[in-house]
Chains A and B, each alone.
Chain A
């Protein structure tokens, strides 16, 4: 776990669990979500649901997530990477 100036940074595992928790009701699928799960191909999230996903992430982590990051996000692992970057910037 990386220490920032304020709250301690969340670990990859903690971020993953929180993301899965947010994705659950949006994806509405029984299949197991892993870091390699593709948001569109595996979870069938359409553009509206992906936008809703970002809003939920913003509120869960109390950060700003520009929709510009979407071009760099395909899998859950990509989400974790972008989230770590944004949390570090916000710290």
Chain B
């Protein structure tokens, strides 16, 4: 027990003194997850919007797959990207395995279904309300999609935050394709896993606290966005 208390004190000191080793890991984690979420949103928004508006054969199947992939286990996403990027894989020549780029790709694979499926759901709800009015105004399917995405902007922002919450907290995908290499691909989650098994509880605890604070911040932002949107009747 005294060990634990001491570890806790060390953890707080690491955070309070902005320990360079800690900061490096935190910054890399945020960079990887933020980029992954931004890129995933660029794919997920139009994908979800189009799925809500366009009617084509196989639409139901695509929607079902997208919904199912929301629960894709991070290790499976990591494995898929690993196979793609490994020397024997189709993209092996790029030599991207064990780089932050590979980690971004793996987290994108996790986040695209989340952003895409939530976007589709939001847009479909909105379309129910707007359909006749937009058709009366003569909007083309592309214009309808664009209108829905813009009008759903606050709800889409909550989808992005949900995706970020998922990306920043996952460990399996970045562990497999990143390899937890010190100064290169070590993120908060992989470092916690490693340092805990090494017995370096203080650093693990410090990173855990930062991760927890991130989760709180994301949730706070979610609630803030919702409240703001409700006040404008934009929800």
A pairs with B: no
